[in-house]
Each structure stands twice: as C-alpha cells, then as structure tokens.
C-alpha cells in the first residue's frame, strides 16, 4: 500500500472532503459489520473513502506539537469539536482523558495549533508549519535503501505494463531492465541512501537566530546568493478582537455578515462559536490577493507573540474587557492597536468611549427595526456598507502604519 494511502492525516482529510463515514470501533475488521463505539473505548478508526481501511486510533501522525507527533485520536477529537469554544473543548478533552483512565491521553491543542489543523483538514490551506511532509515528497527525499530497491523493481514492472495493448515484454528483458543501475538524486549523492537528521542543529542555532540582525553585516539583502536556499516565510493572519460584552452590537454570530457583506443583523446570544475567519482585499497592502483575518472575543489562548498580529479592537467602553489584555490600560492599548466603537445612530456614545479620544473610531449605524415582514420595518440597510467601508479604511491605515506588507508582518507594534 502506498504511503499516501495509509497516512492517517491524509485519509482523514480526504474522508472529510468526500463526506465518507469515519467510524471509531474496537476491531480492525473492515467488512462493515463493526459497531461504532465512543472514542474512549475505540481501538481503531475505520475509513470508507477513498479506500476502506482501519487505522489504530493511537497511531502517531505527521502533525507535531513541541517536537512530538500527535496521535490520531487527538486529531479526530479536535475535528469533532472544531465548532465549540476553547474552554468547552478543553473541558471535553479532560473528560475524555478521565474516561481513558491513563491508558492513553488526548492532546490539548494550543490556540494556533488547533486553528492550523482545522484549516488544513477543511482543505482551506495546502500547507502547515506543524505537519511534516510525506516520505517521497520533494522535501522528504528517500526514506531508506529499501525504498530505492523497491523503486527499482517498480520501474521494471512499469516498463512491462507500459506495453499493454502492444504485446507483453519478454521476461528476460524485464529482468535485465530490473538490474539497471539507477541514477541517484541529490539526497542519495550527498548523504547516501540513509538520510541524515540535522534537526538538532536548529536548537544549536536558536540563540544566534534570536539576536537582533546587524543591518551592516552580511545579510540576505547584501548577498542575494543566500536567498536561493531560503524558503518563503508565510505572512501570518492578522487578528481582530471583539468585545465579549452582551451589550455589544457585534458578536461572533453576526460580525462575519457585517464585515464581509455590509449588512447588520442583531446578534444571536446563544451562539457558541469561538473563532471566525473573514477575508478582505487590502489594496494598499496586497493588491494581488485578499487577506484573511482571525476574529476572536478574547485573548485567553494567546501567546505573547500573537499580540503583534492584533490590528483592531472593537469595544463598548467597558474597562473589564481589557483585564487580560497585554495593555490593560485603554489609553496605552489604543496607542498600539486601532480601536472601533459601533453604536446606533441617534444614541450618544458612552462617556468612556468619548474619553478615549481620536484613538477609537466611532461608527454609527441605523437601528434595526425588523426583518421586512412587519409593516414599516427597516429593510433598506444600504448605509451599513458605508459604515463597514469606513471601518476597514481605519484598520488598513493602522496596519500600514504598523508595518504590514505584502509578504511580511510587523515584529512588534
């Protein structure tokens, strides 16, 4: 069986894309009669598409967290709980670990790890900094000398089958073809048939890489030859923080339609969504492709470096919103990040928002009066788009001032 066919991560992604059944069971039997059980009791995960196969549920995958591979059970559990908030996900993982009673442990993904995994499984992204390439990929090279020998025998078989419809290749000639000496690639020529693991060099180089670069030294800019072996750095997604206050006009349930479609609808306070993506073309930053923004209501799962990616904070003026922020003082916060207050036209903004001054953009929309089925309801919300464009202009101006570019993000704000 090919490596790609038996790879747990790839099988899971293909099954999700095709809508194939994924069944946790207690047997490796793939006849279709195995009953479905809970993840705490399952020993195998059955896939029905693109091939019917059973993979041990504790099998390690190519997704690595802190240098260690994450097992298939943790990957599938994270996918099942992709829509729930981070605290609920952590509570569910703790409950499952209690049910496993020490026989195994479900890995709890960090905020960005979980986002990266779900994005890759959905097919929205073709790359992930946490997923190692498959053996045989252009970055992977040959796995071992046995792989080379297998490739040789497959070449002879392919040569024989290539004559299908024009006669069968003589067995003796096929044997001669099988004994041909194959040319080596750059991996086998430089390192032999067994790849050398240089991952330890990264730890040794980390103290030097973390130092501030010397602009007058030998940099990539001064020596273009160094850039030939440099992999392009992926620009991180900017982050927008919403107010978790119940009085906020924008919550996770209605912010996507407002910022993307330019139409305001009242929020659904029963929504449990913890994270969203919106796309927006920022022509003055990158005119070739839209930028993807991450929307969250709180920084509870933030690492310190995530704050350099925050580009806007929506606020209602309530000071408790900033309690867990990097800058808990609103005056200091809005020196680093663009602030936005959204209210109804005709209502006076709160005193706290007015006290923030010009650092917080005040935007007003028409009051929502109904869905159009009630006589006299306001259905022509054409001015909402004008307000949305005003908000995006404020965010884009702030991003340009902070150093956001087509292929780079600021290292500090």
| pLDDT at position 125 | 80
Answer left, alpha or beta for residue 211, where phi above 0 means left and psi between -120 and 50 means alpha.
beta
- Chain mean position to CA 346: 41
Say which residue, 177 or 88, is predicted with more confidence: 88
Neighbours of 35 (CB within 10 A): 8
% the chain with pLDDT above 70: 77
| pLDDT at position 377 | 52
Cα–Cα distance measured from residue 87 to residue 110, given in angstroms and rounded to the nearest whole number: 12
Res 7 pLDDT > 70: yes
Q: What is the mean pLDDT of residues 199-208?
A: 79
Model confidence band, residue 151 (pLDDT cutoffs 50, 70, 90):
very low
Highest mean pLDDT, choosing among 72-81, 99-108, 139-148, 271-280: 72-81
Q: What is the mean pLDDT of residues 219-237?
A: 62
Is the bond into 50 cis (omega within 30 degrees of 0)? yes
| pLDDT at position 243 | 93
Res 385 pLDDT > 70: yes
Model confidence band, residue 200 (pLDDT cutoffs 50, 70, 90):
confident
Answer left, alpha or beta for residue 224, where phi above 0 means left and psi between -120 and 50 means alpha.
alpha
Res 225 pLDDT > 90: no
Dig out the tokens for 265 from the structure: 């609808």
Cα–Cα distance measured from residue 277 to residue 239, given in angstroms and rounded to the nearest whole number: 9
- Residue 44 to residues 40, 76, 327, 347, Cα–Cα distance (Å): 11, 12, 47, 59
The pLDDT tens digits of the residues spanning 274-302 come to 889 999 999 999 998 999 999 999 898 89
Say which residue, 380 or 153, is predicted with more confidence: 380
Q: What is the mean pLDDT of residues 331-356?
A: 92
Model confidence band, residue 20 (pLDDT cutoffs 50, 70, 90):
confident
Answering whether pTM is above 0.75, one says no
CATH class as words, domain 239-402: alpha beta
Neighbours of 353 (CB within 10 A): 19
Res 70 pLDDT > 80: yes
How confident is the prediction for the chain on average, in pLDDT? Answer: 81
Neighbours of 299 (CB within 10 A): 17
Say which residue, 279 or 158, is predicted with more confidence: 279
Res 93 pLDDT > 70: yes
The pLDDT tens digits of the residues spanning 242-280 come to 999 999 999 999 999 999 999 999 998 888 888 899 999
| pLDDT at position 143 | 37
| pLDDT at position 184 | 61
Res 217 pLDDT > 80: no
Confirm if 31 and 44 have CB atoms less than 8 A apart. Answer: no
Res 409 pLDDT > 60: yes
Dig out the tokens for 23 from the structure: 């069944």
């Amino acid at each position: 069986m090919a490596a790609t066919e038996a790879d747990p991560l790839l099988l899971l992604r293909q099954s999700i894309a095709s809508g194939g059944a994924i069944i946790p069971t207690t047997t490796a039997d793939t006849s279709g009669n195995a009953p479905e059980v809970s993840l705490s009791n399952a020993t195998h995960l059955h896939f029905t598409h693109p091939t019917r196969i059973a993979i041990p549920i504790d099998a390690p995958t190519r997704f690595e967290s802190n240098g260690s591979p994450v097992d298939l059970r943790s990957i599938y559990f994270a996918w099942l709980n992709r829509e729930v908030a981070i605290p609920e996900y952590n509570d569910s993982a703790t409950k499952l670990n209690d049910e496993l009673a020490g026989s195994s442990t479900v890995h709890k993904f960090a905020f960005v790890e979980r986002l990266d995994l779900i994005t890759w499984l959905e097919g929205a992204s073709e790359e992930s900094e946490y997923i190692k390439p498959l053996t045989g990929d252009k970055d992977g090279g040959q796995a071992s000398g046995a792989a080379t020998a297998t490739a040789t025998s497959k070449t002879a078989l392919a040569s024989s089958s290539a004559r299908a419809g024009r006669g069968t290749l003589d067995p003796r000639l096929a044997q001669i073809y099988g004994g041909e000496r194959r040319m080596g690639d750059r991996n086998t020529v430089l390192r032999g048939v067994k790849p050398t693991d240089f991952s330890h060099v990264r730890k040794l180089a980390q103290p030097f890489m973390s130092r501030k670069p010397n602009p007058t030294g030998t940099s990539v800019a001064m020596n273009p030859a160094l850039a030939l072996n440099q992999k392009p750095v992926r620009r991180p997604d900017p982050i927008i923080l919403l107010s978790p206050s119940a009085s906020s006009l924008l919550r996770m349930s209605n912010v996507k339609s407002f910022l993307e479609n330019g139409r305001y609808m009242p929020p659904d306070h029963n929504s449990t969504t913890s994270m969203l993506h919106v796309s927006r073309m920022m022509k003055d930053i990158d005119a070739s492709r839209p930028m993807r923004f991450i929307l969250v209501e709180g920084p509870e799962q933030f690492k310190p470096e995530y704050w350099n990616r925050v580009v806007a904070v929506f606020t209602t003026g309530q000071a408790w919103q900033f309690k867990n922020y990097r800058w808990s003082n609103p005056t200091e916060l809005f020196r680093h990040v663009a602030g936005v207050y959204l209210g109804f036209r005709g209502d006076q903004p709160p005193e706290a928002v007015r006290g923030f001054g010009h650092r917080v953009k005040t935007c007003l929309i028409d009051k929502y009066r109904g869905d159009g089925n009630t006589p006299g309801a306001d259905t022509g919300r054409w001015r909402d788009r004008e307000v949305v464009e005003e908000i995006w202009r404020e965010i884009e101006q702030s991003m340009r001032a902070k150093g956001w570019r087509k292929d780079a993000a600021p290292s500090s704000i």
